[in-house]
Amino acid sequence: MSRFKRLLGYGFALLLVMTAVDLWRSRDLPASADVLDGLITLEGQAVDLAAQSQNEPVLLYVWASWCGVCRLVSPMVNMVPGPVMSIAIASGSQQKVRAYVQEKGYDFPVINDEHNRLARHLGIGVTPTLMVVHKGELSMATTGFTTLPGMMLRRWLVQFGA
């Protein structure tokens, strides 16, 4: 067997394992994104993830300004093509989070969960956590370091029913 075929086989096996782990992690998520209705971004815009995700999956990124891994993942989230929504948990006041986002140059919309209530309601105890919202349903939760291709692949898998 050639080296390329072996690497391709390992890559495929890794993809299957990652998908299985994401599905396993997603089992405890609320089924509906309705728990996220009525939220407001730092820019004062109302969030309706169910409506936003009807035509195209939305990457939902839960992060914190104090999270070391988030400092690596956030710049990649900033490069994700297509819709992204984020929730900053336990990162301080609106002004503090706004200043942090501006300092880092992040363009993704941010909901400030100053007291970590929303994250607890979603069952999120680890940052970063990424999920995909499609047609109002939460799925494909993963935690820890995730690459840009991994984020895009998760959205693609949800959108095309893999």
| Average pLDDT over all residues of the chain | 86
Taking each helix axis from N to C end, the angle separating 3-26 and 148-159, rounded to the nearest 10 degrees, works out to 70
For residue 143, the model assigns a pLDDT of: 84
For residue 22, the model assigns a pLDDT of: 56
Amino acid at 82: G
The whole domain housing 94 covers 3-159
**Domain containing residue 99: CATH number:** 3.40.30.10
Q: Looking at the predicted structure, is the pLDDT value of residue 21 above 70? A: no
State the Cα–Cα distance between residues 137 and 151, nearest whole angstrom.
17
- pLDDT above 70 as % of the chain: 85
CA–CA distances in Å: residue 136 to residues 19, 41, 152, 158? 20, 18, 18, 12
Structure tokens belonging to residue 94: 């609106």
The domain total for the chain is 1
End-to-end CA distance of the chain: give it in Å, rounded: 28
Rg (CA), the chain: 16
Backbone angles phi and psi of 146, in degrees to 5: -135, 140
